[in-house]
Structure formats: structure tokens, C-alpha cells
Amino acid sequence: MTRFYVTTPIYYVNDVPHIGHAYPTITADAVARWHRLLGDETMFLTGTDEHGLKIQRAAEENGVTPQEQADKTSQRFRDAWEQLDIANDQFIRTTEKRHHVAVQELLSRAKANGFIEKGSYAGHYCVACEAYYIDDDLIDGNNCPIHERPVDWLEEDNYFFKLSALESELTEWLNSDTVFPEGKRNEALGIVKLGLDDVSISRTSIDWGIPVPWDDGHVFYVWYDALINYATAVGFGNDEAEFGKWWEQSHHIIGKDILRFHCVYWPAMLIAAGLKPPKQVHVSGFLLLGGKKLSKTGLTQIAPADLVEDFGVDGFRYHFLRDVSFGPDSEFSYEGMVSRYNSDLANTLGNLLSRVATVVTKKCDGIGPKPNPDSPLRPIAEQSYRDAAVAWDQFQSPVALEAVWNLLRETNAYLERNEPWKMEAGSTEVATVLGDALEVLRLAAILASPALTRGSTAIWQTIGLSGSPEEQQLPAAAEWGQYPGGLAVAKNAPLFPRLKVEDAS
RNA sequence: GGCGACGUAGCUCAGUUGGUAAGAGUGCUCGACUCAUAAUCGAGAGGUCGUGGGUUCAAGUCCCACCGUCGCUACCA
């Protein structure tokens, strides 16, 4: 049996879930769903990153413990993902015991291998921020950029990770088909080529973190704790055999803002600990709003819940999977979302289902006929599956979905050419045409199910099939001609009612 | 400053290692149809592929410069 392991970034609980979090999460969910259709043993991980100064400080401000603070905000992410039909197999939290064990184990191994040593870090320190700043950040050369008051020159003992010793290993890893798309791999190579400094991985100034096992006064700096979650979740430090099996198939989905950490630091940490670097890292671009990065700060924040209210779960998921390609930045707009929903979901797919159901009702007494083995739609459907399979394998959801919609458009054209509504009721001609269309709907329900978690099941039931599209297994289920015929086809209300632009908020 | 990415039809985007007369969806125009969610189908208009050079028999695709946009250069995640 093939295994497949996919992860999203773990999200920092200092923030509320927004569409910038939703996009990589939906992509990972869809890719995981595709692999389940293929019958792969699949592990899909997401979670929250809960240590660090910001959480500690937020907790103090709210008069709660850091753990309570983390509990509350972590739950928001769980709720958000539930709303979006995210079917993750695990939800990891970096405050879990198993994670502490894994972090201490992994970094102890790196230390034993000579990649961690003590040093001291010195820098401009703002007491109010409890943080260091580099020269370029300072205002007028000596003032904290946030508090605008003088910083102190402070020195503290830290443990350093000897990143500089791993340049050749990293270059080799980056050159072996690991980071996608290629442009992002080049960026990572560029970072390595510029020369890597050793990085400080512990702090003595805060205590909301995972203790350094060999030195009581230190906790690990939040990044070096966070990255390890991907290993923790599949058994590292707990069940080595299990870990090994999953880790061979690890795929990380990240945003380009954290490329440095996932394509340089993280593989280096794994190598230092004597482990394999990740199998693949897929780097997405940013969502842009009017050409500007959709960041966690400012007015650009858009709550997934608001969009789900307008577009439904399917409309929300479909938009991101269809319109946001993996790699370059993408423009997000409400109008674009409406347009995509109407053209693809309401018109091409939803309307096809409606017209087929109506004609079956009128011409076949509501009983769906069998498809024609030699249908002209057959080769198109087969190509559609092949294209989708390749695209999903490359995490290219827009290409995969376009392949399915091409089949749907061809089917609308096929109906137009044959005009079954003009044919004699009960004739073999009308049965053939409608059987083919029903077969396409069966296929589309399966192939679109990673995106349309609800609509695909609705189609399945409307055309009289039992069970659900998610239970089907590819590639066998994609073979033409499996719609059995003789099933009652329901004439329901429109599956995806058209949206009017005036609905825009 | 250094490094990098991007700039292709009104809009959102595809365009493998340079090679049939530049593509899709959407929008627009015209026509058809009226089974269907003012849906569908067909036809058409629409691009000097940011600008200027260069390499080549041949460049959107390689090289250089410039313009524009953005990102990284964080011990914030």
C-alpha cells in the first residue's frame, strides 16, 4: 500500500484564522482527499504553534496562563477548519507532551552529532519589547521601532545550531527534486549560496517554550520547536518505525514567507539529527488584495466564515483551489469569486445537473438510463481523468479542476448537438444521450470531490447512486460506463443557485 | 544597498528543455436554442507577449540594460 503524508504550516495562535491560513489548508485537504480516493494510506496534518514570547505576553495582558491563552486560540483554528470541511487526520499542538519529547530528542541528537554548541548572542535589546533588533530596524540608529525609545546593548548565552556546516548537504538536497515550483527552489538555493550563519536556537529571556534538556535555564526558540511538529505527529521520539514509514512520504505545503525555514533550516536540522530531509516542499505564493499582500495585520483581514456564508463551503473551497495556482502570487477579489462561482458551479455544473434531471424526468420517466460504451464523451472523460491525476500529483489543483470542467463543458455541447429534449420519449436514442450525461455526472462527482465536499455527494444522490463519491476508488472508478442505469433521478432545486453581484458585501 | 520573483487578450491566468500562423476561462459582439439556475451551444472581435538592445536559421521562451510591481535580506511567526 502506498502512503502519503501531507502537512500545512502550523499556525501561530497569536492570530485569528483568515483566508491566508485557509488557502494552504484547503489545498492540503484536497490533495489528501485525492490520495484517499487513490486508496493510499493518507496522513494529513495541521495544527497550531503555541510557544514564544508573543503568546506569553498576550497571556499576561489577558490575565491568563500561556496555556489557557493557547487553548483558546488554538480552538479557533479547529473551528475554522471544521467549517471548511477540512478532514485532517491529526491536529497537533506544540504544547503537547509528545511534542516536547520529540523536540528534545531531535535536538539532542543534533547536539550529539556536534551541530549544536554554546555561544553568545549580542544585540540591541528593547526592554519593553523583550526582543532584539538589528541595526537596520532601529530608528535614528538607537531607538526601538515600536516604542521609539533607546535600546540597550545586551548579551546573552545561547545555543547555536551550526547551520554553516551543512551548506553542501543542503545544496545537494535542494538539487534533488524536492522543492516546488522550481523558482522557489532557486530562491532556497540562493539563500544557501549567499552563505549561512549559525543560528541561535535557545533563549534564556523567556520561559514559555520547550526546555533545553541539557541546560535548565534555556528554552528552545520557537521556530526550532515549531518545525519539529511535522516529525512529532508521525511518531518521532515515540515510535521510530512508524515515523520512518511516514517520513519517507512527507510533503510540506507552505507559503513563500516561510521558505527559509522550511527549505533551509528544517532540512538542515533533520540532517544534523541524522534523519532524512522532507521528501517534498510545495511553496505557494501570497494572496493579494488589490496587489498588496493579504497579511495578518491591517484591514485586509477576511474571515473565512463570512465568505462561507455567501458562497457556501463548496464555493469557498472551489474558488481557492481553482483560481489560486501554486507558486506565483494570486489576486483575490470578491467579484472574481462571484464570477467563478456563477460560471463554473452554477452554470456549467449545476445547470448541467438540472437540465439532465429534467429531461430524464420528461423523457425517461425519471429513471436514468445506462451510458453508451462507445460514447464520444468517453475519450474526453478518460483524458480528463489522466490530466487530473497528473495535476493532483503536482499539487496543481487549478489544472486538475479545469480538466474536469472541460469534460462538463463538452457534455453541455454534446447535449446541444443531440437535443434529447426533442427526441421521442422512451426511445433508445434519448436513453443513450442521457445515459452518457449521467455517466459524466458520476465521474465529475468523484473527480471534483476533493474540492466540492458537499456538492459532489449531492450530485451522487441526485442521479440515484448510493454511498458517496468519496468511497469510490481510483483509477477503477474513473473507467467509463459504470453508471448502472435504472436508478431514479431526482429533480431537485438548483444545486448551486446563481449569485447576484448585489449580494457583495 | 545586496539577492530574487514577476510584468502575456478588458479581467483572472496557462504557456515543458527556444521551433507548426500566441492559448484557456471569464467579459464583450453577433447568431442559434429554449431541456435547464436570464442557464446552454456556435461564430467573432480583442494581444507590437513591460521598453530597448543582443545571441540564433528561429525568442513570450536565452543574455544585457532600463522602467514598473512585489518579496527576501528578522533573533515576528
Same domain, A405 and A299: no
pLDDT at A314: 96
Same domain, A187 and A52: yes
Count Cα atoms within 13 angstroms, Cβ side, for A178.
Answer: 23
Same domain, A186 and A229: yes
- For residue A502, tell me if it sits in a domain: no
CA–C1' gap, A343 and B77, in angstroms: 38
- For residue A262, tell me if it sits in a domain: yes
Same domain, A103 and A184: yes
* Residue at which a domain ends, from A274, A308, A342: A308
Instruction: Specify burial of residue A61 (Cβ count, 10 A radius: 0-12, 13-18, 19+).
Output: exposed
User: Does pLDDT of A296 surpass 50?
Assistant: no
ipTM associated with this complex: 0.90
φ and ψ at residue A180, rounded to 5 degrees: -125, 150
pLDDT in tens, A28-87: 999 999 999 999 999 999 999 998 888 888 888 889 999 999 999 899 999 999 999 999
Task: List the domain range (segments joined by +) for residue A421.
Answer: 334-488
- What DSSP string describes A386-420? HHHHHHHHTT-HHHHHHHHHHHHHHHHHHHHHH-G
Residue A475: asked if its preceding bond is cis (omega within 30°), the reply is: yes
User: Does pLDDT of A289 surpass 80?
Assistant: no
Same domain, A346 and A242: no
Q: CA-CA distance, A203 to A43, in Å (whole number)?
A: 33
- For residue A326, tell me if it sits in a domain: no
For chain A, the domain total comes to 2
Q: Are A327 and A309 contacting, i.e. CB atoms less than 8 angstroms apart?
A: no
Same domain, A88 and A133: yes
Q: How far is CA A180 from CA A188, A368, A382, in A?
A: 11, 44, 27
Radius of gyration, alpha carbons of chain A: 26
Q: Which of residues 142-201 of A touch strand B (CB under 7 A)?
A: 158, 183, 186-187, 190-191, 194, 199-200
Same domain, A415 and A288: no
> Does the CA dihedral A442-A446-A452-A458 come out positive or negative?
positive
Same domain, A56 and A191: yes
- Work out if A254's Cβ lies within 7 angstroms of strand B: no
pLDDT in tens, A441-478: 999 999 999 999 999 999 999 999 999 999 999 999 99
Q: What is the pTM of this model?
A: 0.93
Same domain, A134 and A278: yes
Same domain, A115 and A225: yes
SS3 A153: strand
Strand pairing of A250-255 and A152-161? unpaired
pLDDT in tens, A214-234: 998 889 988 888 999 999 999
User: Does pLDDT of A137 surpass 70?
Assistant: no
- What DSSP string describes A155-188? EEEEEEE-GGGGHHHHHHHHTSS-EESHHHHHHH
Which nucleotides of strand B come closer than 7 angstroms to any CB of the protein? Answer: 3-6, 11-14, 24-27, 33-42, 69-77
Same domain, A292 and A349: no
Q: CA-CA distance, A16 to A36, in Å (whole number)?
A: 30
A287: the nucleotide nearest its CA (via C1') is B70
Residues 6 or more apart whose CB falls under 8 angstroms from that of A240 comprise: none
Q: What is the CATH number of the domain that holds A292?
A: 3.40.50.620
Could you tell me how many helices (H) and strands (E) chain A has, helices first?
A: 18, 17
pLDDT in tens, A477-489: 999 999 999 999 9
